[in-house]
Structure formats: C-alpha cells, structure tokens
C-alpha cells in the first residue's frame, strides 16, 4: 500500500559500476567477442531443450514433429530474449529465456491428452502470468521471500523425481548411464575451472551419451542420422494446434506464479550484479521482466511448445565472466535462430536417450533446490515463517511420493491436486494468510531533541530487531533516519505487515525567528522505496516513507 502523493526516488545518481565487470550493461563488445559470448550463453541454456524432448515423447509426438517443436521453441526463445534485454520493453538486463522445468510436471500431466493440450494450457499460463505482472507491486506482500524460496525448492524436487523416474526406466543400465551423466556434471561443476565449469551440463550429457552407446539400450534412433540431415532448412509446422482442458488449469496457473517469482529473483540478481551501490529491488524493472516472461510463454504456446522462464544459469555465467552487456542478448538470439533453422541440430537433440535426459534433470533439480535454499537463507527465520515453509513443503513432498491421502480424495478434486507445486504454493498462501492474521506491528516513538541521534536510532533499531525486519531494510532505515532526525523531529510512527515497513516522521514547525533551510533528503529519496512529504495547517510536516522487504 502506497501513501498519497508518493513519489519514487531515482537510483541513477547512486548507481556505481562494479570493478569486476569487463563488459557492463551499456557496453558494446567487439564482434568476435560478442559472437563467442552469445554462443557460450546459448550452450548454457541448451540443456533445457531436453525438457521439450521429454514432453514431446510423453505426448506421443514422432521424431520428425518433435524436431519442428524444438525449432519453434528456439524461435520463441530468441524473440523473448531480445525483448527481455530491451530497456523500454523488458527488464533492461541481459537475461536469456529458456524452456523451464517449472512447467514440466503440469505439462507431463497434460501430455496424456496430446501436445495440443499442452500448448493450449501453456498459452493460458502465459496470459495469466502477463496479467499477474500488472498486479505484482500490489500483491508483493502476499509473496514474501520464504514463499519464493519454497516454490523454487518444490520445483527442484519435482524435476529431480521426474529425472529419477526417467533414468530408472531402462533398469540397471539406465541407472549407470544416468549416474554417469549426473556424476560428470557434478565433478565439472564443483572442481572445474573456467570454461570446463561453464559447460558442466553439456559435458555430463556428452559423457552420458558415450556410456549409453556401450550399454546397448534401445533408443529413439541413431545420433549418426543427424549428420545425414540437412545443415539448414525451414522447420515443419505440422505440430501446431491448440486445445484446452480445464482439469489442468490449476497446475499451470500455479506454475505461472512460480515462474513469476523466479523471474523476480533473476531481475533482482541482475540489478545487484550491475550496481555496486545497489540498495533496493527495482519493482518497475521486475514488473516488466515478469510481463515479458509471461508473453514469452504465451508465444511459446502459440508456436506449439512448452512454458519458458528466465535462465538463472545464464545469469550466473554472466556474473562469473564479467560480461553483462544487454547487447549480448542480440548475439544469443542470433545463435538461437541459426540452430532453429538447422535440422541436424534439432535431430541430435531429439535422439537424446531417456537415461541421459533423466540424469541431466536430476542435476538440474539439485541446482534449483540449492538456489531455493540460498534465497531461504536470506530470510530472518521465526516460528511464523518456519510454519509458512515447513507444512506446505511436507504436503508437496507427500504429493510427489503419491501418499495414500491423495488417493482418498473425491474424483472431482483429484485433477486439482495433481501438481506438487500447485498444492505447495496454495498451502503456503493459506498458511501465510492465517499466521499473518493480526500480525501487523505498530509502534510510536517520542523523539526527545535533548537525546543524541545515536540513542534515538538505537531505540528504533531495537524495535526493528523485535519485528524480525530484514537486514537490508534496517540498514536503509538507519541511513534515512540519520539524515532526517534533527531538533525538529518530534515523533516517529512505525508500521510493519511482514513485508512492507511504513514510517511516518512528524517534524515540528520551525521557530518564527529561525532561518528556514531546506530539508536534507538525499538518501531518503534514494534508499526508500517510496516517499511523501505533507505539510499541516499548523506549520508542522509529516514525511512518510515506505521500505519493501
């Protein structure tokens, strides 16, 4: 909730380029460097194409049609990446779009009705996400960081379990192939340096494929056929079609919410990487990023493919390499279009064996779970937040494990309970709403001009510590109040609803014989999320501040 007359401060004056960046946000690398960086980021996002292959197989799509699905997927991703990197249309940060495992569970369930059902429900999810982006700023309090972390952890568990099921389908040889894929990916991811670490997923897939060739496990077709395919050609559009099934609506909508939360985190990480003086989330950039992500999923559904999302792996690579220029997004999009028009490449991806895909999904699931716990580690944990995370996570794990509880539900309810992500996020929202009931905190602090500023700040700090306010918010509040507390400050009102901290500072009217000086509000304008200044009839004034946690 915002104050009347609020105006947002500008961070542009405080932005500072980190010394670790080689190619910053507005830099333009040389042509050869740009092409190499673009190819690198494409190769990082390429393993996610295995998700499309798995869904196509579950939907009974033949190999020729699956190649067309992959080509159209890459075209949709190229468009989405270009728009996402645009300063006017997207978030303005270098973020690569990729096919997302967030939609994997819902898409596999819908695949029983055929690929058109998957595409139709993906289209609905994308439209819902675009609509959700318009409500994001106001709805932020209902999606605190603990729910963001929970949704990401559940997605990782779902991806990992699906991967285990896929690699175990071929018996012991399948476990060996999947285990080799997973083990090599982990080894290069942990012990690798430079490019070896960047390409750990691809190296794991390559090693797993070599082991697969020695086991004699029957596969879709021989990868050698890819070399006999045309190097370039137009993709087939025979797979295009849309169908809708309301029974799968809830899992796709909750997947869209989870995708929105993940994109919020990706944009926030990019803002921190590109600004050494970062102090707060850029909600308008986040809103545009989520909107583009929703439109990307909508376009992917129209093109006959699966749901998309921001590639956090690519964000990590850009941080590690020191290259965050948004121009790199053009190079990535160009490489996506090149490979989209290459039947040899799409055929090679389509022929990936199930055990290799399964091992890759287990590795991806572990990374996603780790990312979720990293976000959870930034949350100041108390009993209320622990309840918001623990019970929904338990329910989601029970759904993944097919607990007998869900078999006893009425048949009319079972389709709504088919996704662990949907159940977990829905339960978390209910628990958060229930435990937050009456949890709003308020306090009024009388400011004695005779007391030193440091003593008054310590009093406010003790209140914020009691309320478990996030550390970065406390730092911003202290910086702002140190600037605003002077001999005219008479009282301070604090209100905290678990997500947003509101501060109202009352300042007495200046003495008649006192020289009027302008209020110093340099930091207050820039480190607060919103600010308003209102004068009263008696000459006093109230400065209203808002801090998002």
Residue 492: enclosing H or E segment and its boundaries?
Answer: strand 489-496
In whole angstroms, how far apart are CA 409 and each of 253, 403, 412? 21, 11, 8
Count other C-beta atoms under 10 Å from residue 434's C-beta.
12
pLDDT confidence bin for 512, thresholds 50/70/90: low
Residue 479 has pLDDT above 90, yes or no: no
Residue 517 has pLDDT above 60, yes or no: no
**Radius of gyration of the chain measured on its C-alpha atoms:** 26
pLDDT confidence bin for 352, thresholds 50/70/90: confident
Q: Which pLDDT score, from 0 to 100, does residue 72 have?
A: 93
CA neighbours closer than 13 Å in the CB half-sphere of residue 204? 33
Q: Are 264 and 286 in contact (CB under 8 A)?
A: yes
Give 35 or 152, the one with higher predicted confidence: 35
Assign 388 to helix, strand or coil.
Answer: helix
Query: Which residues are bridge partners to 500 per DSSP?
Result: 548
Residue 4 has pLDDT above 50, yes or no: no
Give 269 or 331, the one with higher predicted confidence: 331
Average pLDDT, the chain: 82
pLDDT confidence bin for 8, thresholds 50/70/90: very low
In whole angstroms, how far apart are CA 368 and each of 36, 157, 324, 343? 27, 8, 22, 31
Q: What percent of the chain has pLDDT over 90?
A: 20
Q: Are 308 and 76 in contact (CB under 8 A)?
A: yes
Residue 31 has pLDDT above 80, yes or no: yes
Q: Are 363 and 150 in contact (CB under 8 A)?
A: no
Pick from 137-151, 218-232, 503-517: least confident: 218-232
Q: State the DSSP code for 327.
A: T
Count other C-beta atoms under 10 Å from residue 30's C-beta.
9
Q: Which two tokens stand for residue 80?
A: 């989405």
Assign 189 to helix, strand or coil.
Answer: helix
Q: Are 483 and 523 in contact (CB under 8 A)?
A: yes
What CATH code is assigned to 441-510+520-548? 3.30.565.10
| Angle 532-535-539 from CA coordinates, rounded to 5° | 150
Residue 121 has pLDDT above 80, yes or no: yes
Q: Which two tokens stand for residue 392?
A: 């929904």
Query: Which residues are bridge partners to 502 per DSSP?
Result: 495, 546
Question: Residue 266 and residue 286: Cα distance in Å, rounded?
Answer: 9
Rounded to an integer, the average pLDDT of 405-414 is 76
Residue 99: enclosing H or E segment and its boundaries?
Answer: strand 97-99
Question: Residue 282 and residue 25: Cα distance in Å, rounded?
Answer: 16
Assign 507 to helix, strand or coil.
Answer: strand
Q: Which pLDDT score, from 0 to 100, does residue 221 have?
A: 53
Rounded to an integer, the average pLDDT of 407-422 is 74
Q: What is the pTM of this model?
A: 0.73
Q: Which pLDDT score, from 0 to 100, does residue 307 have?
A: 93
- Per domain, the residue ranges of the chain are 31-435, 441-510+520-548
Q: What percent of the chain has pLDDT over 70?
A: 88
Residue at token pair 């207050």: 524
Question: Residue 204 and residue 144: Cα distance in Å, rounded?
Answer: 35
Question: Residue 411 and residue 181: Cα distance in Å, rounded?
Answer: 39
Residue 97 has pLDDT above 90, yes or no: yes
Q: Which of 421, 370, 418 is nearest to 259 (CA)?
A: 421
From the centroid of its chain, how far is CA 116? Answer: 26
Query: Which residues are bridge partners to 492 per DSSP?
Result: 445, 505
Question: Residue 195 and residue 107: Cα distance in Å, rounded?
Answer: 33
Backbone φ and ψ of 177, nearest 5°: -65, -50
Q: Which pLDDT score, from 0 to 100, does residue 219 have?
A: 59
**What counts of helices (H) and strands (E) characterise the chain?**
23, 7
Q: Which pLDDT score, from 0 to 100, does residue 444 have?
A: 87
pLDDT digits (tens, 9 = 90+) for 297-307: 999 999 999 99
């Amino acid at each position: 909730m915002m104050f009347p007359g609020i105006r947002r401060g500008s961070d542009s004056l405080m932005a500072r380029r980190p010394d670790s960046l080689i190619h910053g946000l507005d830099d333009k690398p040389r042509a050869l460097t740009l092409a190499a960086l673009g190819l690198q980021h494409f190769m990082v996002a390429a393993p996610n194409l295995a998700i499309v292959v798995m869904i196509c197989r579950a939907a009974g799509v033949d190999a020729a049609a699956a190649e067309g699905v992959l080509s159209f997927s890459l075209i949709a991703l190229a468009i989405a990446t270009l728009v996402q990197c645009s300063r006017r249309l997207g978030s303005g940060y270098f973020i690569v779009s990729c096919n997302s495992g967030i939609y994997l569970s819902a898409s596999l369930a819908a695949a029983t009705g055929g690929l058109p059902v998957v595409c139709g429900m993906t289209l609905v999810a994308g439209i819902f996400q675009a609509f959700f982006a318009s409500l994001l700023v106001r709805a932020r309090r209902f999606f605190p960081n603990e729910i963001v972390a929970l949704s990401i952890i559940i997605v990782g568990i779902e991806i990992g379990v699906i991967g285990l099921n896929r690699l175990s389908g071929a018996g012991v040889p399948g476990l060996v192939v999947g285990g080799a894929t997973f083990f090599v990916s982990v080894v290069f991811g942990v012990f690798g340096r430079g490019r070896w670490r960047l390409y750990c997923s691809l190296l794991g897939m390559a090693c797993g494929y070599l082991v697969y060739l020695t086991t004699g496990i029957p596969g879709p077709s021989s990868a050698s056929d890819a070399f006999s395919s045309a190097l370039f050609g137009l993709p087939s559009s025979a797979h295009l079609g849309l169908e809708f099934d309301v029974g799968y609506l809830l899992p796709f909508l909750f997947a869209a919410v989870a995708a929105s939360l993940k994109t919020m985190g990706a944009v926030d990480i990019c803002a921190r990487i590109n600004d050494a003086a970062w102090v707060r989330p850029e909600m308008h950039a986040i809103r545009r990023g989520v909107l583009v992500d929703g439109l990307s999923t909508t376009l992917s559904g129209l093109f006959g493919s699966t749901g998309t999302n921001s590639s956090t792996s690519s964000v990590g690579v850009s941080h590690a390499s020191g290259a965050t220029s948004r121009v790199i997004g053009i190079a990535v999009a160009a490489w996506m279009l090149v490979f989209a028009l290459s039947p040899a490449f799409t055929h090679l991806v389509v022929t990936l064996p199930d055990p290799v895909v399964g091992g890759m999904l287990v590795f991806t699931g572990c990374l996603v779970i780790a990312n979720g716990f990293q976000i959870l580690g930034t949350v100041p944990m108390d009993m209320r937040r622990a309840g918001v995370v623990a019970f929904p996570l338990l329910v989601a794990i029970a759904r993944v494990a097919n607990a007998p509880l869900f078999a006893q539900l009425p048949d009319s309810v079972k389709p709504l309970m088919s996704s662990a992500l949907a159940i977990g996020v829905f339960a978390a929202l209910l628990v958060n709403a229930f435990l937050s009931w009456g949890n709003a905190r308020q306090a009024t602090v009388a400011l004695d001009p005779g007391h030193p500023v440091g003593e008054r700040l310590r009093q406010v700090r003790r209140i914020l510590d009691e309320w478990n306010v996030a550390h970065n918010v406390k730092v911003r509040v202290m910086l702002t109040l140190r600037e605003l507390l002077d001999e005219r400050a008479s009282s301070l009102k604090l209100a905290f609803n678990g997500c947003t901290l509101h501060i109202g500072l009352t300042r007495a009217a200046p003495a008649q014989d006192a020289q009027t000086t302008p209020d110093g509000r340099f930091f207050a304008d820039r480190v607060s999320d919103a600010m308003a200044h209102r004068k009263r009839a008696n000459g006093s004034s109230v400065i209203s501040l808002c801090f998002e946690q």
